[in-house]
A and B are shown apart, each in its own frame.
Chain A
Amino acid sequence: MSKPCPINDHRLPTGGLIDRQRQKSFVFDGRRYCGYEGDTLASALLANGVHLAGRSFKYHRPRGIFSDGPEEPNALVEMRIGARREPNTRATMVELYDGLIANSQNRFPALSFDLQAVNQWLSPGLVAGFYYKTFMWPKKGWMFYEHIIRHAAGLGTATLEPDPDLYEKVHAHCDVLVIGGGPAGIAAALAAGRAGARVMLCDERPDLGGTLRYEEREIDGKPALDWAGGHLAELAGMPDVTVLRRTTAFGTYDGNTVGLVERVSDHLPTPAPFQVRQRMWTVRAKKIVLATGAIERPLVFPNNDKPGVMLASAVRSYIRQYGVKPGERAVLFATNDDAYRTALALNEAGAGVTVVDPRGEHGTAWPERVRDAGIEVLTGHVITSLKGRLRVKEVLAMESDGRGHKGSPRPIAADLVAVSGGWAPTLHLATHAGAKATWDEERGSFVPDMTKCRADMTVVGSANGTNTLSGAIEEGFATGAAAAKAVGKSAPDPISVEVDDPAEAPVRSLWKVEPAQGQPSKSFVDLQNDATAKDIEIANREGYISVEHMKRYTTLGMATDQGKTANVNGLALLAEARGQSIPDVGTTTFRPPYTPVTLGAMVGRHTAKHYKPIRRTPMHDWHTDAGAVFVEAGLWLRPQYYPRPGEDVHAAMRREVKMTRNGVGLCDVSTLGKIDIQGPDAAEFLNRTYSNGFKTLAVGKARYGLMLREDGIVYDDGTTSRLGENHYLMTTTTGHAVEVMGLLEYYAQVLWPELDVQLTSVTDHWAAIAVAGPKSRTVLADAIAGIDFSNQGLPFMGVADGTLDGVPARVFRISFSGDLAYEIQVPADHGHQAWKALMAAGEAHDICPYGMEALNIMRIEKGFVTHAEIDGRTTPGDLGLDKMASRKKSYIGRFLLEREALKDPDRPTLIGLRPVDGKATIRAGSILVRDPVTAGPDDMEGHVTSQCYSPTFGEPIALALLKNGPNRIGETIWATFPLYNVSVQCEITPTVRFDPDGSKVKGETTDA
């Protein structure tokens, strides 16, 4: 036996579903308290007499614990500390664990003494639209004010440290998904489960039962919770039934998909090793049963936000479920019979109670039943104000007939005010899928209209406006049985339940209590956003008469609780102000999520290196062993450079260029997209796809090809080789490999289905190695058997098959460096072997692996374009590739390429640049102007696309797009980079600096 918790003086001596043998110690705002296993943070605070839980958002008014569930607008706390600190956590949903640390929010310096509470005395000015109206002057002022306002109006702060916890995602399918584990939900799951359907039943609470956990009801002559427990045990024994506790269904999506988040270990101090904190479920259900219950509506009356004001059902729940007495002297202010149960519960708990009911004597047994228990019932009365600063001390009640107050206020001493204005069914998940909430005047409540609901969903129980327990159970069971039948199961035997459902008089809709003469008038509708009844009147008066506009102007229904306790009252008051009915005003749209979902749950395991897959080439391990520094290219990792001891990136890449240009280098180009194209119409297909002609390409030859978009802009480039009569191999850029494949399939399947052509992506099937430099021929002639490497045997743009280290190798005489060069392709599994064989063969010639940096330098020296130039805005002409756009055939992009604007000679066109001083770096992205000092935005004549330091020419060089560029070779222009305030005077040069006559690449000047 452990000792009873210290303090804990508001705990009832017996009762509740808590385990009094298991104490839990916790800290709130630096002070230590004790609670029990089974408590929430809210119930444990109340057991210790702590009602004051936070300060309000705008006025910093003291606020208390208001509810016992997900609707909580006030008791938002910062949970935990350090890396696990989480703001805006509802204390009503936090299960108590040993060592829990929580802090209140939005107060400075302390919860009981908050300096910004001065806002409430300034509040006549802080009405709806205040920020919009005030801080818009002067015009630029918002930039300044916003900083201060954001600080003043915060709701907690998130941690800045990385999340230490694990999250995961699960996909599941089921026949019937039942959302909500109250009486209706249990009955639905039971029926479907007994019929043999695959059932999932979820509930956001740690234990199922819903209202049965605190309502003193009997089913079949036994306590209602026993009925629930028996059926839950039966469900647990069914192999095809999954019951998920602590699991919130937060959104309904297309295709009968529901998102659930399971809080696997939020009730523990920390998750066990390798246990996830939360699990995101994507459930695809054939049938959905919505048994989400209803949320009690508060009442709007002056000073109704003081700590000690609580929903009537929450008061019952704290007494019966947690064994807590939330007050010593209570007033129940209710417009319906259901709330009278709270008066009885308070009475049993030993608290004094007075009932204030605006209805007159109304003929049901409830007032008498309550009076028989010795409780005073003031019918035809309303509460006109509350007194007390950090807690209610006194209630002022007045006689009222609905038109006005009569007599003088009667003071009633009270430290607790239980309120109930009726119920609002929890229809969020139905409205996500298009269902409407329609107003049922008779019931004084919204009910679901499922005619436009896109989900195969049925609403049961109090979510459906069914307000008797027997009705909810019967409806749930019948719906579960029908769902099972619809998925091909035979219906289970019907059940009957015996429940005493005493008659209840209709709810009286009381939307607002007018303040009494000379009394304070602030009546809150939305506690979380500090939106008052007056704010709604102002919004209406200022023309925000649409419910959506009113929401945005007053912020009613926004923020973390999304107005769960505020929306209906807000709509009704807007309707009143407009002089219309509630259906005429309509409702705002509920959107997912129902309650906040952590980013961690949405991200799941896809963090850090699991954020996206990594693609590695077959030679990756060799590069790693060689000490390569890698760079990301899309999903690929490619060697950026191979530093030797003492080298930085600049030294390494310059050496790699020099060794290649003077001898031989090799580069892993396996990432290039490769598409195998076969079929009798392959030539015609390519001819239509590329802007240049492909029909004349001979077998055993490669050709550079340019692909346009339909609008005439260059899309991609690469070489395509003809391997056989009806067999081609296309290469694409690394970046567009996936998209080009999809595009070619579009051409083949959608545009030209008459062409007999087959496409296969073979990017991953072939390892590709570029071998470049004047000695490349010598090395390959040694390494590769079966190919005549003479200039006649394998001429420029020739293709031949040979054998490399016993492996079949395809050799393409193509060059991206401008030097004599080849590309070798071998089956991917032999890539590493082939690379090593080439390194061995080249050892005597000091062969050098080069990375992306050297590759880029060499292509700039040669004036070849990449995506820096093919930027989605350039035509073939802009890139100096005018001859690549055929005039003789039809191809993708031809028609719109002929547009006048794309032929304008003043279009920026590719040229080369060098700094006049031979030294200054020309930054990529620099703007080209005639005079950097006087130039304005209209004086821009082009921009720099690529730049490097050229080791070959010993100076920085660049490629750029310049108006009328090719006709300005030899002139000077300024490359200006305003961000860093640097300008470089440049000489305009031809694009091709290296081997301009092509003699090297064609092998005419090398040592063949």
Chain B
Amino acid sequence: MIRLDCPHCGPRDQTEFNYGGDGRIERPGDDASLTAWNDFVYTRDNPRGPHVELWQHTAGCRQWIKVARDTLTHEIIAVGTMGDDIEAKIADPDRGGVEA
């Protein structure tokens, strides 16, 4: 039972959210290569450790959020809105208040 601290609603149980996959992937432009598009649709890293991912608070505010989660321990390292710089939050040693 992971708990995510939704930046809009506060801490909520994982059952309120839908998982949305790797949050670092950018959609290529129309002029991108076939390889870039192939990677976008089909290729995913499978990291052991911190992973930035997208979740949607489907049973709450319906907002998509960014979550940095450790895939090994399920520790929630940081959460942020789509506009937040999640990498900066991960790097912030005083990120505090984020509960696993």
Contacts and interface: CB of A to CB of B under 8 A. Distances in A.
Interface of A: 253-257, 282, 284, 434, 454, 710-711, 742, 745-746, 749-751, 753, 890, 894-896, 899
B56 A745 contact: yes
Contact of B20 (A255, A282, A746, A890): A746
B30 to A, nearest CB: 5
Interface in B53-89: 54, 56, 58, 62-64, 73-75, 82-83
22 contacts: A254-B2, A254-B3, A254-B14, A254-B74, A255-B2, A255-B3, A255-B100, A256-B100, A257-B1, A454-B73, A454-B100, A742-B18, A746-B20, A746-B64, A749-B63, A750-B64, A894-B30, A895-B28, A895-B30, A896-B37, A896-B41, A899-B34
B41 A710 contact: yes
A896 B37 CA distance: 7
Nearest to B32: A895
A753 B18 contact: no
Contacts of B56: 742, 745-746
A746 B58 CA distance: 11
Nearest to A434: B73
A486 to B, nearest CB: 14
A23 B74 CA distance: 52
A750 B73 CA distance: 27
Contacts of B1: 253-255, 257, 282, 284
Contacts of B63: 745, 749
Contacts of B3: 254-255, 284
Contacts of A896: 37-38, 41
Interface of B is mostly: loop
Contact of A745 (B37, B64, B75): B64
Given A710-B40, A749-B82, 16 more contacts: A254-B3, A254-B74, A255-B2, A255-B3, A282-B1, A284-B1, A454-B73, A454-B74, A746-B20, A746-B64, A749-B64, A750-B20, A895-B28, A895-B34, A896-B37, A899-B34
B27 interface: yes
A134 to B, nearest CB: 39
- Which of A254, A256, A282 counts the most B-chain CB atoms under 10 A from its CB? A254
A915 to B, nearest CB: 41
Interface of B: 1-3, 14, 18, 20, 27-28, 30, 32, 34, 37-38, 40-42, 54, 56, 58, 62-64, 73-75, 82-83, 99-100
A745 B73 contact: no
A895 B18 CA distance: 27
A899 B83 CA distance: 34
Contacts of B64: 745-746, 749-750
A899 B74 CA distance: 38
A284 B58 CA distance: 22
Nearest to A286: B99
Nearest to B40: A710
B100 A890 contact: no
Contacts of B34: 895, 899
Nearest to A711: B41
Nearest to B18: A742
B86 to A, nearest CB: 13
Given A255-B3, A282-B1, A710-B40, A742 B30 contact: no
- Which of A282, A742, A749 counts the most B-chain CB atoms under 10 A from its CB? A749
Nearest to B63: A749
A-B interface, 5 closest residue pairs, ranked by CB to CB distance from nearest: A257-B1, A255-B3, A254-B74, A749-B64, A255-B1
Nearest to B20: A746
- Which of A253, A742, A753 counts the most B-chain CB atoms under 10 A from its CB? A742
B73 A890 contact: no
A254 B30 contact: no
A873 to B, nearest CB: 15
A590 B61 CA distance: 38
A751 B20 CA distance: 13
Contacts of A710: 40-41
Nearest to B65: A749
B54 A750 contact: yes
Contacts of A282: 1
Contacts of B58: 742
- Which of B34, B64, B83 counts the most A-chain CB atoms under 10 A from its CB? B64
A799 B36 CA distance: 42
Contacts of A454: 73-75, 100
Contacts of B75: 454
Nearest to B30: A890
Contacts of A253: 1
Contacts of B99: 255
Contacts of A750: 20, 54, 64, 82
Given A434-B73, A750-B64, A254 B100 contact: yes
Contacts of A742: 18, 56, 58
Contacts of A749: 63-64, 82
A81 to B, nearest CB: 37
A38 B74 CA distance: 44
A288 to B, nearest CB: 13
B37 A895 contact: yes
Contacts of B20: 746, 750
